């Protein structure tokens, strides 16, 4: 272990299984964007079982930011419908540990913190619809720049459920108007990975004051002939955890996703 985040060539990580095994072996801890092309990735949320029912209802009521791809049995460390031979404690490149709504550590595995009462939630990730947009020849500015998509806290209230409440986080991609319309059509086919945008143009209407200062990720310019287009984002649960302060939670680190065996095309409803 040399401490570098890339101890294995990224080009060797062609499938979800490749990425998970490299993470488990301590050979990879970097960002997963562009890895295992054709395979869906997921946001991870892990909560004690006594909060899991509330969170499940929260996801059901907020399918745009929290589209559920899978939920583990309590204490289980796998999601057999989504990934073979999965160990949720080791197979992501990076985790976040939360206590009382505070981020307390960002480890590369969470074996020592795992508990028999934990339930894991795999939430769809925009990388799947980004692949569909790129396949149509569209340009994604943050991808061209090699940076993480800009994300913003909004004033859009999530529908509360039990102890869970908070504002939606959105990702932003700029498009010329005709491309924005096409992007609505393409992403509408993928409701399990955030689906259609939740907002277009007029960022101040959803409480975004400055597009140059995202709350997560890196800024990208919006040109004079472009509109900012906003999609619900799977980082929303992390904002919710910070707001409602559960005693304990584990999430992925933004950009360091759980890479699945699920093909991207299986996420399309049409």
Binding site residues, a second copy, CB under 8 A: 176-178, 180-181, 184-185, 188, 196-202, 205, 225, 227, 270
Shortest separation between residue 196's beta carbon and a second copy, angstroms: 6
Closest to a second copy by CB, 181 vs 212, is: 181
Shortest separation between residue 184's beta carbon and a second copy, angstroms: 4
Shortest separation between residue 150's beta carbon and a second copy, angstroms: 18
CA distance 223 to 83: 40
Shortest separation between residue 42's beta carbon and a second copy, angstroms: 24
**Are residues 172 and 214 in contact, defined by beta-carbon separation less than 8 angstroms?**
yes
User: What distance lies between CA 10 and its chain's CA centroid?
Assistant: 20
Of 23, 45, 19, 21, nearest to 33 (Cα)? Answer: 19
- Dihedral of alpha carbons 29, 32, 38, 43, sign: positive
Closest to a second copy by CB, 223 vs 243, is: 223
Distance of CA 137 to CAs 47, 83, 166, 267, Å? 39, 29, 36, 20
Closest to a second copy by CB, 161 vs 206, is: 206
E strands, the chain, in order: 39-48, 68-71, 95-99, 102-105, 118-124, 151-157, 167-175, 199-200, 227-232, 249-252, 258-263
Closest to a second copy by CB, 198 vs 267, is: 198
Closest to a second copy by CB, 205 vs 218, is: 205
CA distance 270 to 267: 9
Closest to a second copy by CB, 106 vs 157, is: 157
**Are residues 71 and 56 in contact, defined by beta-carbon separation less than 8 angstroms?**
yes
Indicate the burial class of 234 (C-beta count within 10 angstroms; 0-12, 13-18, 19 or more).
buried
Shortest separation between residue 207's beta carbon and a second copy, angstroms: 13
Shortest separation between residue 141's beta carbon and a second copy, angstroms: 17
């Amino acid at each position: 272990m040399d401490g570098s985040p890339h101890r294995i060539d990224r080009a060797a990580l062609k499938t979800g299984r490749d990425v998970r095994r490299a993470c488990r072996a301590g050979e990879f801890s970097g960002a997963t964007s562009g890895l295992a092309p054709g395979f869906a990735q997921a946001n991870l949320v892990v909560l004690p079982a006594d909060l899991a029912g509330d969170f499940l209802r929260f996801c059901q009521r907020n399918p745009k930011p929290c589209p559920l791809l899978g939920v583990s049995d309590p204490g289980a460390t796998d999601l057999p419908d989504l990934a073979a031979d999965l160990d949720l404690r080791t197979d992501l490149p990076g985790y976040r540990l939360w206590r009382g709504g505070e981020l307390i550590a960002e480890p590369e595995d969470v074996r020592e913190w795992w508990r028999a009462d934990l339930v894991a939630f795999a939430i769809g990730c925009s990388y799947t619809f980004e692949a569909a947009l790129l396949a149509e020849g569209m340009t994604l500015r943050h991808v061209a720049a090699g940076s993480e998509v800009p994300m913003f806290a909004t004033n859009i209230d999530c529908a509360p459920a039990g102890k869970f409440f908070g504002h939606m986080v959105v990702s932003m991609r700029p498009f010329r108007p005709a491309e924005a319309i096409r992007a609505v059509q393409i992403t509408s086919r993928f409701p399990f990975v955030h689906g259609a945008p939740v907002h277009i143009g007029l960022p101040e209407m959803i409480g975004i004051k400055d597009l140059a200062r995202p709350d997560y990720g890196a800024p990208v310019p919006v040109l004079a002939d472009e509109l900012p287009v906003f999609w619900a984002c799977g980082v929303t649960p992390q904002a919710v955890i910070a707001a409602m302060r559960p005693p304990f939670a584990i999430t992925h680190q933004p950009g360091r996703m759980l890479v699945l065996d699920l093909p991207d095309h299986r996420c399309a409803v049409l």
